[in-house]
Amino acid sequence: MKTTTCIQCGSTFQGRSNKKFCSLTCKNTHHNEAYREQNKVLTQLDKILHKNRAVLLDMYNVYRSSPIKLETLQARGFHPNYHTHFFNSPVGDKYTMIYDVGYKVHYDNQVQIVQLDNVA
Ligand SMILES: [Zn+2]
């Protein structure tokens, strides 16, 4: 037994020399913080993608597939650079998808929104 300093909270404790934490709580806190830090970029991307999907769905519920200006989406916080994949429709249209919701660029910077009900 020796006196060790907890690497999470800085308190000293008695224990085996290879112990790094004073308690299970400190051990868990430490690993959760490390996990959060490692996944920060993923969390940020998830947030943008979910926001994009929510904006598209909101607009789809109002306009269905009528053409609307891309700026209308952007004014609601839509980031056109972030999407999940492309979908090529059987008739040759290319849709930029955010999960199940996507859009194709129409003309004049207008877009048409679609929602897929299955993934072929
Ligand atoms: Zn501690």
The string of DSSP codes covering the chain is -EEEE-TTT--EEEE-TT---SSHHHHHHHHHHHHHHHTHHHHHHHHHHHHHHHHHHHHHHHHTTS-EEHHHHHHTT--TT--SEEEE-TTS-EEEEETTEEEEE-STTEEEEEE-SS--
Query: What spacing in Å lies between the alpha carbon of 37 and ligand 1's midpoint?
Result: 19
Q: Which amino acid is at 91?
A: V
Across 112-120, average pLDDT = 85
Query: What spacing in Å lies between the alpha carbon of 39 and ligand 1's midpoint?
Result: 23
Which pLDDT tens digit goes with each residue over 77-104? 999 999 999 999 889 999 999 999 999 9
In this predicted structure, what is the pLDDT of residue 120? 61
Query: What spacing in Å lies between the alpha carbon of 34 and ligand 1's midpoint?
Result: 15
Which pLDDT tens digit goes with each residue over 43-80? 999 999 999 999 999 999 999 989 999 999 999 999 99
Confidence bin at 31 (pLDDT 50/70/90): very high
φ/ψ of residue 7, rounded to 5:
-75, -10
Query: What spacing in Å lies between the alpha carbon of 4 and ligand 1's midpoint?
Result: 10
Residue percentage of the chain with pLDDT more than 90: 84
Which of residues 63 and 16 earns the better pLDDT score? 63
Q: Are 40 and 83 in contact, with CB atoms under 8 Å apart?
A: no
